[in-house]
Amino acid sequence: MSHNYLIFLYYVITPKSEEPNKSPMNQDHHEIHLENYITQKLVAQGWFEGQSVHYDQQRALYPEDIDAWVKATQPTVWEKLLKLNGDNAQTVLLNAVAKALAANTGGTVYVLRYGIQIAGVGQIELSQKQPEDQRNATLLQNYQENRLRVVRQLKYCPTREWSIDLVFFINGIPVATVELKTDFTQDVESAMRQYRHDRLPIDPVTQRKEPLLTYKRGAVVHFAVSDSDIRMTTRLAGDNTYFLPFNQGNNGHAGNPARDDGEYPVAYFWEAVLQPQTWLRVFHSFVYEEKQDKVNAQGKAYTSRTLIFPRFHQLQAVNSMIADAKAHGAGQQYLCEHSAGSGKTSTIAWVSHDLICLRSNEGKAVFDSVIIVTDRNVLDAQLQEAVKWTPLSRQYLRPIKRASIPLQQIGAVPFLLLKKPVYH
């Protein structure tokens, strides 16, 4: 039996450091214009525009979309809800979703991927990932029913007039927030300060927990956006909030290049990242929680948890390789450059996961197995953990020990193997 494999080479580079590009734009620089402009671009791509007044502040949900999703994709489930609860069907559903989002074993990503259970009703799916092939017409139709929504100036607190510039939803569940600034008036640093000082998971006065801003339970990622620079974080923690760049890079420097077509330098955000197929794929195939055992200054052991959201260069690298492998099949070679500390471990894990799931439209697997080879023991351990926490991989991950294969066959290189999953 022949086997198809793909081998990766990763090259570490050190980029130059420079301030982000701040080329002037030939458009109105006011924040409201940028906010309107992004919203219009999203609606043109198939997003719905929502209103803050329809947002459920207590549950941090957009009820209209949860109802619409369940009715469109699981009509028998909705009928059971009505039969058991009558006019309270929507309330029961929303309460169940909110409870699952807040559970220690739940959270936004978990609920989107695996749904919820309601006694007497059964399993309720809350989103549909893109099917790996074209064989199941029901899954293909359900995927088309996913509802992406953007809400401008969302007032998220029931006791205060606080609002966030943009909030993004998938089937009524908030997944991302955006604070906008323009280089004409302020910059991305101002947006980051706003998150650190004004967007707090716990109200310092009332001590109310804000579900939208709570780690894992609320929005997965928070973007600070100017017209030339984007930063992101997956955990709001006041002054301790840590942001990472979400930029393309600018000819070996930081930031984003000016656009020849006069578009904003950050237009890739709505043109590529927020494109519906890509955006849904991020939450179904990319986001995972990294767990690390650590010891604090007092010598007490604890587990550090961090939601990993792909940075733009990682998303671009993975999607480019997967698209090429899907188009050309096995036997290709790719060189992916990553600077030190830019997340190559996660990139390798995501590519490996996607390759093992890659199928033709008829359902035939493109690769039988994925083998990851690394030249460092520390990286080997990190990769095993990263791959383990990507969707599906936990069942199919098989570390290969040095003693199990003659060293003359593999050198002194530790590696691990993903077994091909079996689908029914």
Between 11 and 215, the more confident residue is: 215
pLDDT of residue 14: 37
Angle between helices 75-85 and 63-73 (to 10 degrees): 120
Mean pLDDT value of segment 169-179: 98
Q: Supply the pLDDT for residue 184.
A: 76
User: What's the pLDDT tens digit per position in 58-107?
Assistant: 999 999 999 999 999 999 999 999 999 999 999 999 999 999 999 998 99
Spell out the SS3 assignment of 165-194: EEEEEECCEEEEEEEECCCCCCCHHHHHHH
d(CA 23, CA 183): 9
- DSSP line for 13-80: E-----PPP----SS---HHHHHHHHHHHHHHTTPEEE-GGGSBTTTTB-HHHHHHHHHHH-HHHHHH
Query: How many Cβ atoms are within 10 Å of 328's Cβ, its own excluded?
Result: 10
Residue 335 above 80 pLDDT? Answer: yes
Do residues 151 and 186 lie in contact, with contact meaning Cβ atoms separated by under 8 Å?
A: no
pLDDT score for 4: 56
Cα separation, 253 vs 19, in Å, equals 8
Least confident of 64-68, 344-348, 404-408: 404-408
Q: Hey, what are 66's tokens?
A: 């949860």
CB atoms within 10 A of CB 203: 15
| The pLDDT value given to residue 400 | 61
Average pLDDT over residues 285-291: 90
Cα distance between residue 223 and residue 155, in whole Å: 17
pLDDT of residue 302 exceeding 80, the answer is yes
- pLDDT at residue number 66: 98
**pTM, rounded to two decimals:** 0.87
Give the model's confidence band at 183: pLDDT under 50 very low, under 70 low, under 90 confident, else very high: confident
Question: What is the rounded average pLDDT of the residues 350-372?
Answer: 86
Please name which of 250, 230, 391 lies closest in space to residue 308, comparing C-alpha atoms: 391
CA 169 distance to own-chain centroid: 12
- CA dist., res. 255 & res. 312, Å (int): 12
The pLDDT value given to residue 252: 82
Q: Backbone dihedral region of 329: left (phi > 0), alpha (psi from -120 to 50 degrees) or beta?
A: left
Which among 416, 420, 382, 373 is positioned nearest to 398, based on CA atoms? 416
Q: Sheet containing 415-419: give its strands across.
A: 369-373, 415-419, 397-400
Closest CA to 308 of 274, 342, 280, 275: 342
Beta pairing, strands 48-50 & 148-155: parallel
Q: What is the three-class DSSP state of 351?
A: helix
- Return the SS3 of 384: helix
Q: Give CA separation, 361 vs 140, 365, 373, 391, in Å.
A: 12, 10, 29, 21
Residue 151: pLDDT over 60: yes
Q: Tell which phi-psi region holds residue 288, choosing left (phi > 0), alpha (psi between -120 and 50) or beta.
A: beta
Using an 8 Å Cβ cutoff, are 155 and 163 in contact?
yes
CB 236 within 8 Å of CB 199? yes
In the predicted model, what is the mean pLDDT of the chain?
A: 86
- Going by pLDDT thresholds of 50, 70 and 90, the confidence category of residue 340 is confident
pLDDT band at residue 275, thresholds of 50, 70 and 90? very high
DSSP one-letter string for 223-258:
EEE-SS-EEEES---GGG---EE----BTTBSS-PP
Show the tokens assigned to 415.
Answer: 């590696």
Decide if pLDDT at 260 tops 60: yes
